[in-house]
Amino acid sequence: MDKFYIITNSLKDEGLTLTDSIEHYLTKHHKQCSVQQAGRQLSGPYHYTNPELIPEGTDCIIVLGGDGTLLQAARDVVHRGIPLLGINLGNLGFLAEVDRQSVYPALDQLMMDDYEVEERMMLRGSVYRGGELQGMDMALNDIVICREGPLRVVRFKNYVNDEYLNSYNADGIIVSTPTGSTGYSLSCGGPIVSPSASMTIMTPIAPHTMNTRSIIFPAEDVITVELGEGRRQDQEQGLASFDGDTVIPMVTGDRIVIQKAEVSTRIVKLNHLSFVEVLRQKMRNN
């Protein structure tokens, strides 16, 4: 690799000390490198990163922050098809595999082309009110549909490929990718799935029943979740949340159609460890 681009979270790298050091290290080795600070975009189609500023021919995007920063960057730059390497400046990280202590050996591996690239499945969610599209977005981890406002149970009606599946009386529904299986879905009792797999995981949030479990579907299946009425048969307010960040408002009767996205996130893998070994290390350190 010869041409790098850094997306950095200045809240995690105060004063951009590490960012500047990485840029200097790469340029000292006669590599091209430029920097963009991640920050909420006030207008336009992007969330935190403007991919139009990334030079053509960029070989790798280095993301400094943590899993959250990498998720935000991935959604904005996925259409560029450039591999991302996450450097974890936070706590537990499954996506950002490089920590502060191993930054420079990791850069050496990149410059020597000693790496692999994993394709990570993404989800696309489209919210409809009647037949009218209200909004759409993509997620690398998960799409969460939940009620908004007072704490009360809402009914969620679930369909797979337009065929009725079941209904949950619950606080919400998580539809996650294999990458997202170690996130919110895991906290709600969902299974851990290898990120190299291709499937969709549906997990209810605090369901009001004794026998509800996660359901796993082939990646090609289309999942539809309809926001139902509350216990008092009145209209409910809800939200569709994408990777815990952007939201699309929903009301009773609205549907969100979730399917595999046409694009995938490309993640740089350096350590050559199996998923089982990574999982063992992360769980031990948590």
DSSP 8-state code for residue 190: P
Strand partners, 1: none
Active site residue 67: yes
Q: What is the CA radius of gyration of the chain?
A: 20
84 and 77 Cβ atoms separated by less than 8 Å: yes
Nearest to 269 by CA among 140, 111, 54, 98: 98
What is the C-alpha to C-alpha distance for residues 53 and 158, in angstroms, rounded to an integer? 40
- Rounded to 5°, the CA angle 193-198-202 comes to 60
Q: Which of 2, 13, 67, 137 is catalytic?
A: 67
What is the C-alpha to C-alpha distance for residues 168 and 201, in angstroms, rounded to an integer? 15
What is the C-alpha to C-alpha distance for residues 195 and 207, in angstroms, rounded to an integer? 26
What is the C-alpha to C-alpha distance for residues 216 and 202, in angstroms, rounded to an integer? 6
Q: How far is CA 55 from CA 35, 60, 98, in A?
A: 11, 11, 24
**Kind of pairing between the strands at 32-37 and 3-8:** parallel
| Catalytic (active-site) positions | 67
